[in-house]
Amino acid sequence: MHEESLIRSLLRQVEELARQHQATAVAEIEVEVGPLSGVEPLLLQDAFERLRDEFSWPLSELSVLQVGLDVLCRSCQTESQLQNFRFVCLQCGSTSLQILRGDAFRLLNVIMEVDDAITARVDTDSRVGQAAISSAGPP
Amino acid sequence: MPTTTIAVNQDVLAAKKQRALEQRDRFTAQGTFVVNLVSSPGAGKTSLLQATARHWQNRFCVGVLVGDIATDRDAERLRPYVPVEQLTTGGACHLELSLVQQGLSRLPQQQYDFLFIENIGNLVCPASHDLGEHVRVVVLSTTEGDDKPGKYPKMFRTSQAMVISKSDLLPYVPFSVDAAIQDARLIQPDLVTILTSSTRDEGLQDWCQFLEDARKAMLAGRDAAQSLMTTQKGAS
């Protein structure tokens, strides 16, 4: 049920990025969820469909990448993927595991449409913080 | 139309988590130990808080923020014991930091030793939201069944302690305390577990001792960090 509140948080961030990059449309939002994200992909899509009209830009697609639960054993330093929620290292039996992936709802990429003239400026506009930018315009 | 890919690769809740971290630091600086109490509806969160207040008998200054979808029934139950503010979410299934901060500003301003945030009865959504607490305590009642930890892994993984409540009903329900603890520790090996009955004031000594020790550890950590900073300043 909190998927709506998560989608609202997501759309606010995408809106900010679209504004910064003077996008004309947002083609795709790529997110990552895992077994401990507390997010159900199907409900996430439903919430996206319900809320997309509130968005200020034309918005096409939400793609949800589902990942596994990756952990690092603090004792033997082995990385593995848990197949259930038993937090035991399969290598050495230690229960001291650090979650590397699969416990968050992450925004991976935003693919947006931009005017030709603006594309050239995007690289110099670094207000996005750590966000890396790559242009993929038609030849 | 050319397209641009912006690689963000960041937790959608990163900004909220940062605000929660800052709020936790403020609580620590004030010496207020904050407990986020989560459970399914009817597990006995409010009764546990009543029993806690009875047990301490004003030895500590305690405040409570109590979340509910509708009504202020829980706040009314707690009002005879401690300063309490109701947070009504109007349908939302979990509390968020902004609601907690609003509630804080309405609580009588005093030096709280403990602040309890009684979350919405729900073992799912509250697991994803940091409220600036020092510990998250999940309450599991003996009437719910000992198989719940495995069914709600995120909630138990993100909690530091589990109170098994309504121990007085154990003779009447098919609930194994050992099985519940074993199931929960598969998910969260470091989980502290405490067995209580709020109606009979059983296990309250253990529960309150856990809270007092945890607050002492928080204060010790804060003071050690402060003296380290003072030493470094003196050295430079």
For residue B222, being part of any structural domain is answered with: no
Kindly state the tokens that stand for B84: 């309490």
Report DSSP letters for chain B, one per residue: --EEEEEEEEETTHHHHHHHHHHHHHHHHHT-EEEEEEESTTSSHHHHHHHHHHHHTTSS-EEEEEEESS-SHHHHHHTTTS-EEEEE-TT-SS--HHHHHHHHHHS--S--SEEEEE--S-SSGGGG---S-SEEEEEEETTT-TTHHHHSHHHHHT-SEEEEE-GGGGGGS---HHHHHHHHHHH-TT-EEEE-BTTTTBSHHHHHHHHHHHHHHHHHHHHHHHHHHHHHHHH-
CATH number at residue B152: 3.40.50.300
Closest-CA residue of chain B to A12 = B12
- CA dist A103 and B128 (Å) reads 9
How many angstroms away from the CA of A50 is the closest CA of chain B? 16
For strand B114-118 and strand B33-39, is the pairing parallel, antiparallel, or unpaired?
parallel
CB A16 within 8 A of CB A128: no
For residue B56, being part of any structural domain is answered with: yes
For residue B65, being part of any structural domain is answered with: yes
Contact flag B7-A38 (C-beta cutoff 8 Å): no
* Residue of B7, B125, B185 lying closest to A132 (CB–CB): B7
How many angstroms away from the CA of A2 is the closest CA of chain B? 6
A134 touches chain B (CB under 8 A): yes
pLDDT in tens, A31-64: 999 999 989 999 999 999 999 888 888 888 999 9
Domain around B59:
15-217
Chain A residues in contact with B94 (beta carbon < 8 A):
2, 5
Q: Which CATH architecture has domain A3-67+102-115?
A: 2-Layer Sandwich (3.30)
How many angstroms away from the CA of A21 is the closest CA of chain B? 9
A54: CB partners within 8 A, 6+ apart: A11
For an interface test with B, the pick among A64, A87, A105, A122 (most B C-beta atoms closer than 10 Å) comes out as A87
Contact flag B154-A138 (C-beta cutoff 8 Å): no
Task: Indicate the SS3 state at residue A14.
Answer: helix
User: CA angle, corner A61, sides to A55 and A66, nearest 5?
Assistant: 120
Looking at this predicted complex, what is its ipTM?
A: 0.81
Q: Which of residues 27-66 of A touch B (CB under 8 A)?
A: 27, 31, 35-39
Q: From first to last of its 236 residues, what are the pLDDT tens digits of chain B? A: 789 999 999 999 999 999 999 999 999 999 999 999 999 999 999 999 999 999 999 999 999 999 988 889 999 999 999 999 999 888 888 999 999 999 999 999 999 999 999 999 999 999 999 999 999 999 999 999 999 999 999 999 999 999 999 999 999 999 999 999 999 999 999 999 999 999 999 999 999 999 999 999 999 999 999 888 888 877 65
pTM of the model: 0.88
How many angstroms away from the CA of A13 is the closest CA of chain B? 8
- Integer Rg of chain B from CA: 19
Hey, where are the domains in chain A?
3-67+102-115
For residue B184, being part of any structural domain is answered with: yes
For an interface test with B, the pick among A85, A101, A127 (most B C-beta atoms closer than 10 Å) comes out as A85
For residue B213, being part of any structural domain is answered with: yes
Amino acid (one-letter) located at B185: R
Counted domains in chain B = 1
How many angstroms away from the CA of A131 is the closest CA of chain B? 5
Contact flag A112-B127 (C-beta cutoff 8 Å): no
CB A110 within 8 A of CB A26: yes
* Residue of A6, A38, A134 lying closest to B5 (CB–CB): A134
Listed as own residue / partner, the contacts of B205-214 with beta carbons closer than 8 Å and 24 or more positions apart are: B205/B55, B207/B48, B207/B52, B207/B55, B207/B163, B208/B52, B208/B55, B208/B56, B210/B161, B211/B33, B211/B35, B211/B52, B211/B114, B214/B33, B214/B134, B214/B135
